[in-house]
Structure 1
Amino acid sequence: MSFLSPHTPLALAPPPAALLRRSFLKFTGLGFAGVALAAAGCRINKDEETDSVEVGKHDLAILNYAYALEQLEGAYYEKVVAGFYTGATEMEKDLLTDIRNDEIAHREWFRQVLVLKKVPKLEFDFSSINFTDRRSVLTTARTFEDLGVSAYNGAGQLLALSPFLNHAGKIVSVEARHAATIRNLLAFGSFADSDVVDANGLDVVRTPPQVMALADKYFVTKVKVDELPTH
């Protein structure tokens, strides 16, 4: 039973082998933007000595930054769903499975659009999380979802190509639904608490350095965001 979205298992299926990159970008409405991104003279550099990776420059950097965060969320929920915490209800299992499916769909979208100029598959450290304990799992999920919303709020304005901005807006709205759902599982009615929504009815905004400072402990492969645009 799906509580969050009308997704079906087909939503997670990769494009057929015969679907060329150009066709995929056209299908997602990003043909021109994809060509511009592919033409960007930016490399994705991995520093083996420090086990860190740069995200590139311009829109490429913003998309890779978002891709890294989606990898984090996808990996987390895959682990959650692989072995639910003790006492998880069927409703909670359905909700968390739906969220996992959304995060994987987001991750795969970035992977397809970035094609060759993307950060590699990243490694994460979830050793601080007790995956058998409900509060530990849901509190971490709340942290990731709130962080994801604030990250898109902070980075969306930095995108130059409107098709990417449009798609990022669609993703952040789903991330906000996730955040509200997780918050309500922890404390009913907390979905729009003042710690995430201000007096003007606006959500929290964080810059890439602020986001990575909070998420860094979960990244084995560190993501450098020093060269991301700031305006």
Structure 2
Amino acid sequence: MKNFQQEDQEVLHKESGILTATLQRRSFLQYAGAGAAGIALIAAGCKKDDGSEGTRLGGVNLGSGDVGILNYAYALEQLEAAFYDAVVKTPYSGITATELSLLTDIRDHELAHREFFKKALAANAIIGLEVNFSAIDFTQRASVLATAKAFEDLGVSAYNGAGKLIKSADYLVLAGKIVSVEARHAALIRDLIENGTFANSEVIDANGLDKARTPSEVLTIASAFIKTKINGSNLPS
């Protein structure tokens, strides 16, 4: 498997045309909010993990079963939301109005995803994670878009890999709704970097299928950007 940082480096010097079509701003909560209530009821019936056991084992414990998978997704959405929030608040040098609008749309989606999981998990939700973006130069377009590409590709592969681990049909439907949005983000970011690369062989295999990663693989990659240590040892496999 390619190293996450290596994937970033491959696109650091690639810049070309941007997509002119804007994403439609919409809150994920508007079409998935009803599901949050149902998920919260199911999650409330599960034993709450206060994180103490996970801390002793070496980090914040995501938990087990479907609740653990939801916390896993929540952790990734926290990372993406924090990244895009920083991008929008401190736009890179030379950013165009179109690019800022597109990245703001993505930021809004990621914030909605994060808040959706937080609300759905309720008392079972993990703590807010501390991120580490020291390796990102937020003043440079190449650095920001390379990181965005890596995060989006990672997110899509994470949801794809977690799908088979989900037991609840409701949760699986939810994951399908979110991964499709993340894939739209990934395609856009790739074309902002180099037009026409939205679905190349880096992410689509010979069978026309998107790539998938296990939670262990994803958390190892994401750990470079998250200060808070995460323990996913109880996740289903």
Specify whether residues 82 and 6 from structure 1 end up closer, same or farther in structure 2 by C-alpha distance, changes over 3 A only.
closer
Matched, 1:98 2:89: no
Partner in structure 2 of residue 39 of structure 1: 45
2:235 to 211, 223, 228: 228
Partner in structure 2 of residue 161 of structure 1: 168
Alpha-carbon deviation of 1:80?
A: 0.4
Q: Distance in 1 between matches of 2:137 and 2:56?
A: 30
Q: Distance in 1 between matches of 2:57 and 2:233?
A: 15
Q: Distance in 1 between matches of 2:130 and 2:208?
A: 36
Which structure has greater helix proportion? Answer: 2
Q: Secondary structure at the match of 2:73?
A: helix
Listed as ranges, the matches of 1:18-167 within 5 Å are 28-29=34-35, 31-46=37-52, 52-167=59-174
Spell out, residue by residue over 1:72-108, the C-alpha distance to the aligned partner (whole angstroms, 9 max, x if none).
0000000000010000011100110000000000001
Specify whether residues 12 and 81 from structure 1 end up closer, same or farther in structure 2 by C-alpha distance, changes over 3 A only.
farther
Following TM superposition, the consecutive aligned residue runs of length 4 or more in structure 1 with deviations greater than 6 angstroms are: none
RMSD, matched Cα: 2.2
Q: Distance in 1 between matches of 2:98 and 2:60?
A: 38
Percent of residue pairs identical: 48
Matching residue's letter, 2:166: L
Partner in structure 2 of residue 4 of structure 1: 23
Paired residues, number: 216
> Any unmatched runs of 5+ in structure 1?
16-24
Partner in structure 1 of residue 218 of structure 2: 211
Matching residue's letter, 1:170: K
What's the TM-score once normalised by structure 1's chain length? 0.87
Alpha-carbon deviation of 1:225?
A: 1.2
Matching residue's letter, 1:207: T
Spell out, residue by residue over 1:41-85, the C-alpha distance to the aligned partner (whole angstroms, 9 max, x if none).
241415667872010110010000000000000000000000100
Partner in structure 2 of residue 19 of structure 1: none
Partner in structure 2 of residue 21 of structure 1: none
Larger RCO (alpha carbons 8 Å, 6+ apart): 2
